[in-house]
Chain A
Amino acid sequence: MLSKIALSTIKHRLKDFIVLFTGLTIAVAIFFMFTTIANNRAFLEANSIIQQITLIFVIGEFLLGFITLIYLTFANNFLLQLRQREYGLLMMYGATKSQVSQLLFRETLILGSLASVVGIFVGMALTAIAGNVLQKLLYLNLPHWQFFNGRGLIVTIVFFAVILTINGIWNVLHLKRTQLNDLLHANQVNEKLPTKMGRYFIFGILGIILMILSFIIMHKIAQMGLMGLILALILNVSGTFLIIRASLILILNVLQKLTGSYKGLRRFTIGQLTFRLSAFDKLLTIVTLMFALALGALSVGRGFQMTVPILASQNSAYTIAIKDPTKQETANIDKLTGVTFKTTYQYKMVNKAKLYLSKAEFSQVNLPVLATNGTMQTQESLKIPKTTYADAKELANKYPSALNQLLVNITANNVNVTANNMGAIDASFLNKTAFAVAKGQSGSITVIRVKDYNANETTLAALVKSQMANHSDFSTDTITGTYPIVQLLRSYMGGIEFMGFFLAIAFLTMLASTLMFKVLSNTAIDKKRYRILSMIGANTSLLKQTNAKEIGVIFGIPMIIGFLDVWFGLPMFKPIMGNVYLGFGFAAVVVVILYVLYYLLTVFLYQKILALKQKHN
């Protein structure tokens, strides 16, 4: 009977329950996503150039566990807030405290288990989709990838079972301690009053100091190692917490003293924010953390992705060389777009030991070469120099490595051309007539340079594949040019690239659900306030603006601190990345766009719930 009553009351607050259920489901799904990767040791070890990657993932999992724990506490408080009055009423009608406690415990567990089951399936789907789509988008094919693993599933189930049970027990204890009268009036939520300003001053300064300390440690992470990482994390999180809890409230207090604060609803906004920041301190701290992790992960992922073509372009002046193109391959070559260079050189080969090339051909159309600038190839040197050599001999003298690449490609042999030696293979340039009469198996090699790999990805991949199939003596590094190197680098760096993107998706999803959930759970309090303002004479557009501004500040704080975190945190990756800020611009744009979309959606939903409309008939 009691369960029946309980179920029927759930119907009345279906919207709130949907918000709660969705939030829980997403929390489970994201945890599952992360755990699945973190427990796929083979994948992590095979795909990462960072040796401690497994350990980093374990730390990451603890971090996510911590975030999830705080999130579940919010969700649980929300559930309590939703149900307390109903339970009070049940007790008025004669239900005993222990009956009601049992009911609440059961409800917490049922809601949690349902969300866990759905969440695990959603997590599997998300992992599978994110994994496959990402690998396709990034042109990766990562070994040992799986969207499900048993260990991950067990860890997820155990984690949520333990936390839900703790939550259930806590709820029961809370119910036992609360007076019936308080339960009945639980819907009249009173926000905590902010404490006096003196305290804020000390903690506000302390917060900024801790934050700066964490940035300094991040900068010196190479010397400090793993302990430094953990220390930086602790300092950063507590610094963020204190800044939100104290420094910002201090700033609001100063703003309130300004004459301009008396204009319109500014003092209302400041008052609201002072209350909200005290109530949202923990939430905004973890949202900042998630924002920074998402932005950082995406920066690193994108950084590696951008490093690949740069590194590749430092290795060859052309995109790909195709030996003895078949009809199919010629058709594919014609399909390539943005071709900036294309030429074909004839060759004759005797028993794979003697190779003849036509001097005239090389003099007529220069083989693209990289100009070297000392030992390092600079960005400028990546352009194909105009006629930089007069004939083939000069090519051999001046640019042995360029010729070297071509010869490797033709002979499928390791050759090492120097100025005086044409390498292990007996290769020589012949003049026109000598080349024409030379005996040997004749063939050709087509050298191509395209502007953009990504635009030609499928065709280039098909060409590599057919070259490998057509030439049994080719190994993976026989085909020369930048594209094969891109492929090689992708298999080498792809793991990090992929994990960066994958984690960014996971953190952004979790962030969105957490922040939206918490912000939207305040509409009950605000509905009344906005109604009052409307009665006092604030028009609808002013109310909407005020509301958007308030939510904007709440969204803006994690974004600003998150940006600082990433800006100062990225140098941690110096040991494995050339330019740590390479992917930052892209990541910043993507994350900010998504974040602004979350914000707009939250404002839209918020104002829809507040029903900020004039009731004109």
Chain B
Amino acid sequence: MKNVIEVNNLTQVYGQKTNKPYKALKGIDLQVANGEFVAIMGPSGSGKSSLLNVLATLQAPTSGTVKVNNQDIWQLNDKNLAKFRGETLGFIFQEYNLIESLNVFDNIALPLSLQKIKKAQIKKAVHLVAKQLNLTEQLNKFPTELSGGQKQRVAAARALVHQPSLIFGDEPTGALDSNNAREMMNYLSAINMENNISILMVTHDAFSASFAQKIHFLSDGQIVQTLERHNASREDFYRDVLTTLGNFNE
């Protein structure tokens, strides 16, 4: 199967010029196959956010390569990187990251407007994805008028609307209560399976992680263990994750 992400020997060092440089990532190798749903777990300070920032093109690595769809992303210039980000990637963050000055429709439509897509097509795509995420009634509202769960669904719709090859999630359920978190994860699974979009999600929450097909455990800047779901049910996989985490803590 083709890989959507290929990471080779990735390192990230902060404060290189100071006398106390901090190595956040110590030579990570990682692949995500097309259509795969991968989670990355680890305690705070393990390098989760650093890894996601580099993969999501938000911060350049110190060394190593990141290929997305065979394209070495850190070889792109600013303009092409922005274009790449806009066309290929989708983001869902813990703090929703919606633009309060735009209503739900315009928030979801943003990635498409940036790609200079025609109004009629934008409308069609937004309504389609809004239907999928049960947001049709909310399209004219502003983010401040929505509940947390609704906001995160808007964020998901925005990540999905331009049919990216890959969606990044950074603690997407972190700000949600358990009901909303379950609902959100169900939506993400559906997006992964129905739209065949790969998802890479960083989380510290075992429940959310159990929706993935594969979980990498990160500790001290390195991948220390990988857990695969294979054909197990989500509930069984959840138990496996909890066990693994328990072993970690011992």
Determine if chain A interacts with chain B. Answer: yes
Indicate if the CB atoms of B86 and A193 lie closer than 8 Å.
Answer: no
Bound together, the chains give a CA A540 to CA B117 distance in angstroms of 20
Indicate if the CB atoms of B116 and A263 lie closer than 8 Å.
Answer: yes
Bound together, the chains give a CA A540 to CA B82 distance in angstroms of 8
Q: A268-B106, A535-B58, A539-B82 are in contact. Are A193 and B145 (CB under 8 A)?
A: yes
Bound together, the chains give a CA A268 to CA B79 distance in angstroms of 20
Bound together, the chains give a CA A95 to CA B145 distance in angstroms of 34
User: Which residues of A lie under 8 Å from residue B118 when comparing CB positions?
Assistant: 262
Most chain B beta-carbon neighbours within 10 Å: one of A264, A266, A272, A617: A617
Render A530-564 as a binary contact track against B, CB cut-off 8 A, 1 for contact. Answer: 01111111111110000000000000000000000
Tell me the minimal C-beta distance from A185 to chain B in angstroms: 13
With an 8 A cutoff between CB atoms, is A433 at the interface? no
Indicate if the CB atoms of A537 and B82 lie closer than 8 Å.
Answer: yes
The residue that B62 contacts in the complex, of A193, A267, A617, with Cβ under 8 A, is A617
Q: A263-B113, A264-B113 are in contact. Are A536 and B62 (CB under 8 A)?
A: no
Render B94-120 as a binary contact track against A, CB cut-off 8 A, 1 for contact. Answer: 000111111100100111011111110
Tell me the minimal C-beta distance from B102 to chain A in angstroms: 4
Indicate if the CB atoms of A265 and B113 lie closer than 8 Å.
Answer: yes
Q: Which of A255-312 contact B (CB under 8 A)?
A: 259, 262-268, 271-272, 274-275
Indicate if the CB atoms of B145 and A616 lie closer than 8 Å.
Answer: no
User: Which residues of A lie under 8 Å from residue B82 when comparing CB positions?
Assistant: 534, 537-540, 542
Tell me the minimal C-beta distance from A408 to chain B in angstroms: 73
The residue that B113 contacts in the complex, of A262, A272, A531, A617, with Cβ under 8 A, is A262
User: Which residues of B lie under 8 Å from residue A473 when comparing CB positions?
Assistant: none
With an 8 A cutoff between CB atoms, is B158 at the interface? yes
Indicate if the CB atoms of B62 and A271 lie closer than 8 Å.
Answer: no
User: Which residues of B lie under 8 Å from residue A264 when comparing CB positions?
Assistant: 113-114, 116
Give the number of residues in A that approach B within 8 Å (Cβ atoms). Answer: 34
Indicate if the CB atoms of A267 and B144 lie closer than 8 Å.
Answer: no
Indicate if the CB atoms of B58 and A615 lie closer than 8 Å.
Answer: yes
Give the number of residues in B that approach A within 8 Å (Cβ atoms). Answer: 40
With an 8 A cutoff between CB atoms, is B190 at the interface? no
Q: Total A-B pairs in contact (CB under 8 Å)?
A: 100
Q: A267-B106, A540-B78, A541-B79 are in contact. Are A274 and B86 (CB under 8 A)?
A: no
Indicate if the CB atoms of B85 and A536 lie closer than 8 Å.
Answer: yes
Most chain A beta-carbon neighbours within 10 Å: one of B78, B83, B101: B101
With an 8 A cutoff between CB atoms, is A179 at the interface? no
Most chain B beta-carbon neighbours within 10 Å: one of A272, A274, A614: A614
Indicate if the CB atoms of B113 and A539 lie closer than 8 Å.
Answer: no
User: Which residues of A lie under 8 Å from residue B103 when comparing CB positions?
Assistant: 271
User: Which residues of B lie under 8 Å from residue A262 when comparing CB positions?
Assistant: 109, 113, 117-119, 122
With an 8 A cutoff between CB atoms, is A334 at the interface? no
Most chain B beta-carbon neighbours within 10 Å: one of A265, A272, A532: A532
User: Which residues of B lie under 8 Å from residue A534 when comparing CB positions?
Assistant: 82, 85
User: Which residues of B lie under 8 Å from residue A539 when comparing CB positions?
Assistant: 78-79, 81-83
Indicate if the CB atoms of A532 and B58 lie closer than 8 Å.
Answer: no
Bound together, the chains give a CA A267 to CA B60 distance in angstroms of 30
User: Which residues of A lie under 8 Å from residue B113 when comparing CB positions?
Assistant: 262-267
Q: Which of B64-106 contact A (CB under 8 A)?
A: 78-79, 81-87, 89, 91, 97-103, 106
The residue that A259 contacts in the complex, of B97, B119, B145, with Cβ under 8 A, is B119
Name the CB-closest residue of A to B155: A532
Indicate if the CB atoms of B99 and A529 lie closer than 8 Å.
Answer: yes
Bound together, the chains give a CA A71 to CA B85 distance in angstroms of 42
Indicate if the CB atoms of A274 and B119 lie closer than 8 Å.
Answer: no
Q: A266-B113, A268-B102, A275-B101 are in contact. Are A193 and B142 (CB under 8 A)?
A: yes
Tell me the minimal C-beta distance from A69 to chain B in angstroms: 29
With an 8 A cutoff between CB atoms, is B169 at the interface? no
Q: A262-B119, A264-B116 are in contact. Are A616 and B78 (CB under 8 A)?
A: yes
With an 8 A cutoff between CB atoms, is B172 at the interface? no
With an 8 A cutoff between CB atoms, is B56 at the interface? yes
**Beyond A264-B116, A537-B83: 8 further Cβ-contacts under 8 Å?**
A263-B113, A265-B114, A271-B103, A272-B101, A529-B99, A532-B97, A532-B99, A537-B87
For the complex of A and B, list the 7 residue pairs with the smallest distance between their C-beta atoms, beginning with the closest.
A537-B86, A539-B82, A617-B60, A271-B101, A271-B102, A275-B101, A262-B119
